[in-house]
Structures are given as C-alpha cells and as structure tokens.
Amino acid sequence: MRRFAPSRLYLTAAAVSLGLTAFSVWCTLRWWPVSIAAILFAATSALIVWLVTRPVIELHRDRLCVGKRAITWRQIRRVDQTGWAAPLVLFLTLEGGERIRLLYPGDADTSNELLSHIQQHSVGALINGIAWARIFGDPQEEQVTQASDPPVRVRILTDDDEAEVERLYQQLRTAGRFNDQEK
C-alpha cells in the first residue's frame, strides 16, 4: 500500500495567505482601496485551505482508494491528464461511464509518482486516448519484436565525412599519438 497525502507546503501557504489577508483587512480600515487585495488574499486562502482538506489517496495492489471510496483497477477504463501537474488533476472514467475528477495537492515529484502508479496499474484503460499495452507494452510481444528486428544503424556523418574521420584516425595512429590498447 502507498499513501499520498496533501503536501505540507500547502499548509504553510495557507498560513501565509491568511496572515496577508488579516494584514490587508487591517490596512483597509485606514485606506479603502486595499480592500481589493484583502478580497484576493481571502479567496486565495479559501482555495488553499480547500486543497489541504482533500482526502488522502491510497494505492493498493487491487484498488485505488480516494478518501472512503474504493475503485478497483479493472474498473478504470480511461485515465486523462489535464495541464495541471502540481496540484495533479486527472479524470478517471469508470466502467459505467462515470467520470471522476481526481485532485492531488502535492509537489511535482510526488504528483508525477502518483500519476505513474495510476497509469501503470490501470491495465485495461486508455491512457490519454492511447491503449495501455501500446504505452507500456506486452512483455511477450516485446521479446518477439527484439528477436526479429536487426539493429538499425543511424547515419550521422556523410560518406565523405566518414572517410575524413577514418583518414585522421589512421594519421594519429601512425604518428603514435593515439593509444590503441584494449581496456
């Protein structure tokens, strides 16, 4: 089992935002245009506190638990990413067509780890519209492909450049400035 709880950085951000809200409210009593900043800080504080209160996400061998809700891996038919990486926002489509928004307020590394685990465990799902087997591959299919395909040589230099490199190599070798010993 692996637990993903909201990052403590959001608690710090909430405390700072609440402090700035209180300071802005105090300044509003002296000069009313500061009320705009107070409203913005209050909205930011509310959003950050809401993120901190998101439920813990648990990954088990056979299921994904979001708070008190358990979803088996085979129920997940589609995993769609949004542009948000930290906090991580995903859309999970389940067997019956139900679509769930999964929100994880964590740092970028932990969010990427959670995303990776969810994508790897959702074996029967489409990952951003692409079949799971096409992304992660079928181990048996991979072995057959490697055995039948000869290695492809990528050409970086033209024939003239290769000849020039070979000529310079031979010049260095005959001059004794190139160590040709095997390691």
The pLDDT score that the predictor gives to residue 183 is 43
Residue the block writes with tokens 């061998």: 61
Number of H helices and E strands in the chain, helices first, is 6, 9
The pLDDT score that the predictor gives to residue 140 is 53
Do 20 and 82 sit in the same domain of this protein? no
Do 83 and 136 sit in the same domain of this protein? yes
- Domain assignment present for residue 180? The answer is no
Do 78 and 120 sit in the same domain of this protein? yes
What kind and span of H or E run contains 83? strand 76-85
Do 30 and 44 sit in the same domain of this protein? yes
pTM of the model: 0.67
The pLDDT score that the predictor gives to residue 150 is 67
- Domain assignment present for residue 12? The answer is yes
The pLDDT score that the predictor gives to residue 182 is 43
Question: For 132-169, what is each residue's pLDDT tens digit?
Answer: 888 887 755 545 555 566 666 777 888 888 899 899 88
The pLDDT score that the predictor gives to residue 146 is 54
The pLDDT score that the predictor gives to residue 179 is 59
The parts of the chain modelled with pLDDT lower than 70 are: 139-152, 177-183
The pLDDT score that the predictor gives to residue 124 is 83
- Domain assignment present for residue 167? The answer is no
Instruction: Residue 136: give its domain's CATH number.
Output: 2.30.29
- Domain assignment present for residue 67? The answer is yes
Rg (CA), the chain: 28
74-111 in b/e burial notation, b at 16+ Cβ within 10 A? ebbbbbeeeeeebbbbbebbeeeeeeeebbbbbbeebb
Do 45 and 91 sit in the same domain of this protein? no
Do 62 and 32 sit in the same domain of this protein? no
Structural domain containing residue 29: 2-52
The pLDDT score that the predictor gives to residue 151 is 67
Do 65 and 34 sit in the same domain of this protein? no
Do 117 and 75 sit in the same domain of this protein? yes
